[in-house]
């Protein structure tokens, strides 16, 4: 999903790199088969690594099963068509990524479009290599919402790059709203309360980017959640869903492999 987000296309090369390494090292890859805990336990493996990642968290909002409601994988992975007016619930890294995805041209010349938007002159015929930016009307009207105060909008991305994402959303006239209470979703749209004021956002879709939950159903655990079989190891998002990134997941996998 990450490699479909504008600016994160390099993840395609990450996937390609590891796919080739699996072939080179002779790893047996079995697809189209869902594992289950009892089969793993009975198969006689010396070690079992659970790297099942995360699943989107579904907030408890009235009408959450309404046809207007989508999860971020519906947009980034499954390509479900999204309407012109959109409310994005959650202003962390995923909410910003989804917003940028929905605002991107997806043109055959993304570099040229980026240069125009930011006013970059690669010929350096203008002073400082900068020229007047060319910004087209936004492709969509987007409301980026969060429960936290508005002053903390868009703090999910890193310190060195977060300001770029926030500025890009401002260029596309994304309306960022904090201190939002979600009341319900119905045919009229998303009902919210901000302070003492209730309002209805007349949107075509509501996209859930409200965090993730670890997928740990393959782990044999006791009533206190402790792993009961020492052969099982858990890494990445399955270990901890908060602030998940590829760097940490790959690091944990590499360190576990070295210990084993």
User: DSSP secondary structure string, 99-137?
Assistant: HHHHH----S-HHHHHHHHHTB-TT--SGGGB-----PP
**Measuring CA to CA, which residue among 243, 75, 88 is closest to residue 169?**
88
Q: Do the beta carbons of residue 201 and residue 192 sit within 8 Å?
A: yes
Dihedral sign (CA 143, 149, 152, 156): negative
The proportion of the chain whose per-residue pLDDT surpasses 70, expressed as a percent, equals 93
Confidence of residue 172 (pLDDT cuts 50, 70, 90): confident
pLDDT (average), residues 189-195: 96
- Specify whether domain 2-54+213-259 bears CATH 3.40.50.720: yes
Q: Does residue 161 register a pLDDT over 80?
A: no
Residue 61's contacts (CB-CB under 8 Å, 6 or more residues apart) are: 182, 183, 184, 185
Confidence of residue 116 (pLDDT cuts 50, 70, 90): confident
Q: Do the beta carbons of residue 192 and residue 182 sit within 8 Å?
A: yes
| DSSP element (H, E) containing 25 | helix 11-25
Q: What are the residue ranges spanned by the domains of the chain?
A: 2-54+213-259, 58-104+139-210
Degrees (nearest 5) of the Cα angle 252, 258, 260? 100
pLDDT at 136: 78
Give domain 58-104+139-210's CATH number out of 1.10.3130.10, 3.30.300.30, 1.10.599.10, 3.50.50.60. 3.50.50.60
Per-residue pLDDT of 33-55, as tens digits, reads 999 888 998 999 999 999 999 99
pLDDT at 133: 87
The whole-angstrom distance between residue 78's C-alpha and the CA centroid of its chain comes to: 13
- Which pTM was predicted? 0.86
Distance in Å from the first CA to the final CA of the chain: 30
243: left (phi over 0), alpha (psi -120 to 50) or beta: left
- Residue 72 main-chain phi, psi, to 5 deg: -60, -30
Determine the Cα–Cα distance for residues 85 and 82; give it in Å rounded to an integer. 8
**Measuring CA to CA, which residue among 82, 78, 79 is closest to residue 69?**
82
Question: Where is average pLDDT lowest: 18-32, 110-124, 231-245?
Answer: 110-124
């Amino acid at each position: 999903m990450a490699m479909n987000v504008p600016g994160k296309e390099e993840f395609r090369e990450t996937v390609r790199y590891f796919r080739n390494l699996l072939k080179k090292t002779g790893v047996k890859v079995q697809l189209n088969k869902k594992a289950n805990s009892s089969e793993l336990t009975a198969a006689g493996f010396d070690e079992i690594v659970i790297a099942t990642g995360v699943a989107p968290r579904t907030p408890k909002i009235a009408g959450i099963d309404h046809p207007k409601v989508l999860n971020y994988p519906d947009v980034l992975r499954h390509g479900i068509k999204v309407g012109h007016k959109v409310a994005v619930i959650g202003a962390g890294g995923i909410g910003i990524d989804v917003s940028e995805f929905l605002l991107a041209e997806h043109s055959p010349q993304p570099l040229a479009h980026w240069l125009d938007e930011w006013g970059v002159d690669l010929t350096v015929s203008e002073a400082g290599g900068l020229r007047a930016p060319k910004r087209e009307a936004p492709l969509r009207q987007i409301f980026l919402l969060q429960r936290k105060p508005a002053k903390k909008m868009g703090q999910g991305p890193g310190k060195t790059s977060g300001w770029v994402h926030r500025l890009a959303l401002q260029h596309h006239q994304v309306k960022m709203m904090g201190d939002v209470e979600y009341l319900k979703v119905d045919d009229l749209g998303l009902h919210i309360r901000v302070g003492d004021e209730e309002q209805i956002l007349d949107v075509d879709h509501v996209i859930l980017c409200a965090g993730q939950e670890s997928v740990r159903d393959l782990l044999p655990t006791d009533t206190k959640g402790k792993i009961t079989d020492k052969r099982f190891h858990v890494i990445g998002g399955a270990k901890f869903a908060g602030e998940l990134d590829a760097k940490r997941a790959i690091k944990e996998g590499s360190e576990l492999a070295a210990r084993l």
